[in-house]
Copies of this chain bind each other. A is one copy, B any other.
Amino acid sequence: MDNPTFRQAGHRVVDWMADYLETVSARPVTPSVHPGEIARQLPSKPPEDGESLDAILHDLDTILMPGMAHWGHPRWFAYFPANTSPPSILAEMVTATLGAQCMSWATAPAATELEQVMMSWLGEALGLPAGLTGCIQDTASSATLVAILTARDRHADDHHRLTVYTSVEAHSSVQKSYHLAGFAPGQLRLIPTDDHFAMDPGALQQAIRHDRGADFIPAAVVATVGTTSSTAIDPVRSIGEITAREDLWLHVDAAYGGSAAVVPEYRHLLDGLEYADSFVFNPHKWLLVNFDCSAYYVRDVAALHRTFGSSPAYLATQADTKVVNYRDWGIPLGRRFRALKIWFVLRTYGLSGLREMIRRHVALAQEFAGWVDDDPHFLRVAPTPLGLVCFRAILARDADPSAEDRFTRRLLASVNRTGRVHLTSTELAGRAVMRMAIGGRTTTRADVVAAWDLIRERAAQDRRAIASGG
């Protein structure tokens, strides 16, 4: 494809992109395809000779698009938001074109220095405490593994004697990271939570004391600011006082919740962060930066480099002693130019634009929580500190819990099957729960109202069907 052809094709694809963004709200939020239905429509072998862009875009529209779930749909209330935004998309276009490999300063000086400045901008935006230095990781799950590996390596020869801690409500990637770092199940302590699903620091202290008594070496705690199931906020200050006193590594996973700290009135969520050895939050969740883009901050950069640094002869550059080489800050050697989209987004919206968006989402969630609280057919099952509302359906007074859980799950499936909204579920205190995550860039109050109307309508239908034996 020569340059004039690319220019023409690029304009054509931009129109496709703009059309998509303009029309996504009119599409079903999720597709109604069966496993294998897309693959069956594709040839089993790659073509021997090149095909036209016409053919490719035609198949994109007719084969792939009917099988896409639309994360940018205004009535996408599933998981946590993973927003794209126009300026972030523009930056990704430039990043793809430059094709820079940002492993070392010398291989992409401007990318490295923009990343340094953007990590500083984000730290400023969130009001992070002094002494934390940032870099971009792909995801919070990788960043948490990076933190745990660094924490592990503080203890040179005693890996089998280390013990590690997190709450029962922590993200699955925490347990996965502990496993990947080589910890056996017998070295992991899942700390219970309080009634609000936040880690109980007293139980943490007790577990650490018990392990010391049993000749273990307590090594690391992962605390969460905004758990995935219910956005519970672990008490970072209380936990930090323990980890500081006991000399454990404290990693704070604020993948979703961290972004809220751009708003002064939510900055308290990060109270105690000065105790953290490492901290991660995802601009790709709630700050309008395209996935992937996690911001990982660490106190002891030298410790990070001891675990992740490498300097083979074929990567040596004359600048090495004077610069930051981000290849030494994580697992992969190669790195995309991801700082560019942070720059495009922060400059396009400004902090005021991002604050306005987060305040709007939280206000909508508060309003939705109020509707749930006011409706006797539903029960809110967790606090709503941010944009997520956790609730379940009430089947009848004194209903059997397992029947009620089946009813909640049936309701979720029924609501999602309409393709008009998409919500996901979880379990809290052993009960089935619906998660309504409000955080889409284009989500309006009308979308939230439509979701609530649909949920109530389907619940009433399902209730009638059950009453009549259905």
Binding site for B on A (CB under 8 A): 1, 3-7, 9-11, 13-18, 20-22, 30-31, 33, 35-39, 42, 44-51, 53, 55-56, 60, 63-72, 78-79, 82-90, 92-101, 105-111, 113-114, 116-117, 120-122, 124-125, 138-142, 145, 149, 152, 157, 159-160, 171-173, 175-176, 179-182, 184, 228-229, 284, 290-292, 307-308, 310-316, 318-319, 322-323, 331-334, 336, 340, 343-344, 346-353, 413, 424-427, 435
Closest 7 pairs between A and B when the two form their complex, measured CB to CB? A67-B110, A182-B182, A84-B99, A10-B14, A7-B18, A92-B96, A314-B426
* Chain B residues whose CB sits within 8 angstroms of the CB of A290 once the complex forms: 96, 99
Q: List 23 A-B contacts (CB under 8 A).
A: A4-B18, A6-B18, A6-B86, A6-B89, A9-B90, A16-B94, A33-B109, A38-B114, A46-B122, A48-B351, A67-B113, A68-B109, A69-B106, A79-B107, A83-B99, A84-B97, A88-B96, A92-B96, A101-B291, A172-B312, A176-B308, A182-B182, A318-B413
Contact of A90 among B39, B53, B99, B181 (CB under 8 A): B53
Chain B residues with Cβ below 8 Å from A18 are 3-4, 6-7, 10
**How many Å lie between the Cα of A182 and that of B160 in the bound state?**
10
How many identical chains are in the complex? 2
Task: Pick the contact of A160: B3, B160, B284 (CB < 8 A).
Answer: B160
Task: Give the residue name and chain of the B residue nearest to A149 (CB).
Answer: B180
**Among B6, B10, B142, B292, which residue has its beta carbon within 8 angstroms of that of A331?**
B142
The answer to whether A53 touches B348 (Cβ under 8 A) is yes
Q: Are the C-beta atoms of B22 and A17 separated by less than 8 Å?
A: no
